Structure 1
Amino acid sequence: MSNSSKRRQSSSRVRCENVEQTQIQSRIVSPQRVLKVVFLGNSGVGKSSFIQHCCSGHFSGTMTATVGIDYQMKTVTLGSTTIVLQLWDTAGQERFRSITQQYYRKADGILTMYDITHSPSFTAVRGWMDAVQENKCEGTVLMLLGNKLDLADGHSRKVSTKEGQRLAEQHQAVFYECSAKTGHNMEELMTQLAGMLAAQHDRQCEDSLLLTEDTTKTSCCR
């Protein structure tokens, strides 16, 4: 065998190894699921701060009011499964309600938030949750979050934990009290959310597969 033939074979093996390595890296890095999660609640309850801290690991005390819609990405690993959550930050002002509804109608998960130190925000979140029940897709995971737990000491708390739990039970939502500032309960609730979304996604895929199989069998019988 000539030297040129040996070089071509060696070059071919290197290319194949590079392709295989790239494919392996792609499988490791690429997410297996990308799911849409929408945050709802009045302006000032801490939605933007929560998302910022959740995605960056840092709390910013200089957040401005969200205008319209914005989103950030959060990666959660459950065992060998990598899930990317698109965390959609929505404006809480009344004039943006119609825009907001367009985004949560097709959401995989919806997190409604209120400020435990501001009772009007809790009154308002009831309206948000009623609207969600009317417009959300079947199978959407719903959570109720009482934010600013770091301010709950003394006389600052205006909404009790039991009130939040009762409202969550009425709407079959998962309930957490959390703090966008300290990060309290943040990882726990996001991990539970990712697990619930993944399980729901699997069920929908199985139902779709069964429906396809049934349709195929019916067509064959005809």
Structure 2
Amino acid sequence: MKKPVERRESILANYFPSKKSTKRHHITNSKEELEDPDISLRNSPKRLSMSEETEDKSTGHSERTMREECGPQRVFKVVFLGNSGVGKSSFIQHYSSGHFPNNMASTVGMDFQVRCVMLDSTPVALQLWDTAGQERFHSITQQYFRRADGIVAMYDVTQETSFMAVRHWLDQVQEKMTEEACLMLLGNKTDLATGDKRQVTKPQGRRLAEQYQAEFYECSAKNKQHVEDAMTHLTRLLASQQDKQCESTLRLEMSSSRGRCCA
């Protein structure tokens, strides 16, 4: 007599890795990882933001609890580009953890963090990829922004050379990025742009953004001025773009099905 088949319930925890904070993780780029950047993401620990611990006083539930119950419904990969020293790492660090690093070494290769946010009651995970700005790492960087959902090009408003160099980054992006990717230009370090220290004006930055059809913000990674605004705006754009892709795919499938039916 055969043993009856036991019914086993699905356990969501088996599909979502445990969320543990880790120290800054440097990714070594093997040949396999360069061909498929998502491999390094799967093999690397993720750092979650301090916002996970914040509680909603009206409900008594934290964002972490909400995400553990349902998991992120949307995941977007955002790559940061720009010269070394413009503040990419500090921006990501402050946005992700809520703490601004006073001393931070230049990024070598690639590094990433994860910030989970709620967008209209929908849990969204943002994979924030920090890239090295040195010339010798440009070929590595290109491998990562080819598959990015969002790309943030950053310059220093107190350093005109970084603004001139960001044009080169934007040119590369236009050649390699997918048509669905969202592009944003960020002018960082506005907290230092006092008196004659500012070398790039806001109208200059806005004109460059319009030239490349990019969203534009000026911000300060140090005091977090306009950091949340810029990233929230980008997240909404990414979600909207994803919705458009889903609708387009659905219409295509429906059209294809009708064609087969009529035939």
Relative to structure 2, which stretch is displaced further, 28-37 or 193-202?
Answer: 28-37
Corresponding letter in the other structure for 1:75? C
TM-score (norm 1): 0.86
* 1:86-110 CA distance string (max 9 Å, x none): 0000011111111111111111100
Does residue 107 of structure 2 align to residue 66 of structure 1?
A: yes
Corresponding letter in the other structure for 2:193? A
Corresponding letter in the other structure for 1:167? L
Q: Identify the structure with the greater helix proportion.
A: 1
Does residue 202 of structure 2 align to residue 161 of structure 1?
A: yes
- Compare CA radii of gyration and give the structure with the larger one: 1
Does residue 261 of structure 2 align to residue 220 of structure 1?
A: yes
**8 Å contact kept, 1:51–1:72:** yes
Partner residue, 2:213: 172
Partner residue, 2:152: 111
Query: Is the partner of 2:200 in helix, strand or coil?
Result: coil
**8 Å contact kept, 1:76–1:194:** no
| RMSD, matched Cα | 2.0
* 1:163-202 correspondence runs (5 A): 163-202=204-243
Query: Is the partner of 1:64 in helix, strand or coil?
Result: coil
* 1:23-49 CA distance string (max 9 Å, x none): x96674411100000000000000000
Relative to structure 2, which stretch is displaced further, 39-48 or 26-35?
Answer: 26-35
The CA distance in 2 between the partners of 1:220 and 1:92, in whole Å, is 54
* 1:153-205 CA distance string (max 9 Å, x none): 11111111111010001011111010110000011111111111001011111
TM-score (norm 2): 0.73
**8 Å contact kept, 2:107–2:132:** yes
Match of 1:97 among 138, 146, 156: 138
* 1:49-82 CA distance string (max 9 Å, x none): 0000000001001111111111100112122111
Q: Which has the higher contact order (CA 8 A, sep 6+)?
A: 1
The CA distance in 1 between the partners of 2:251 and 2:183, in whole Å, is 26
Partner residue, 1:147: 188
The CA distance in 1 between the partners of 2:230 and 2:93, in whole Å, is 15
**8 Å contact kept, 1:179–1:185:** yes
Corresponding letter in the other structure for 2:128? L
Corresponding letter in the other structure for 1:111? V
The CA distance in 2 between the partners of 1:135 and 1:47, in whole Å, is 21
Q: Would the alpha carbon gap of residues 56 and 29 (structure 1) be closer, same or farther in structure 2, given more than 3 Å must change? A: farther
The CA distance in 1 between the partners of 2:197 and 2:240, in whole Å, is 38
**8 Å contact kept, 2:67–2:123:** no
Note the residue ranges of structure 1 that are not aligned, 5 or more in a row: 1-15
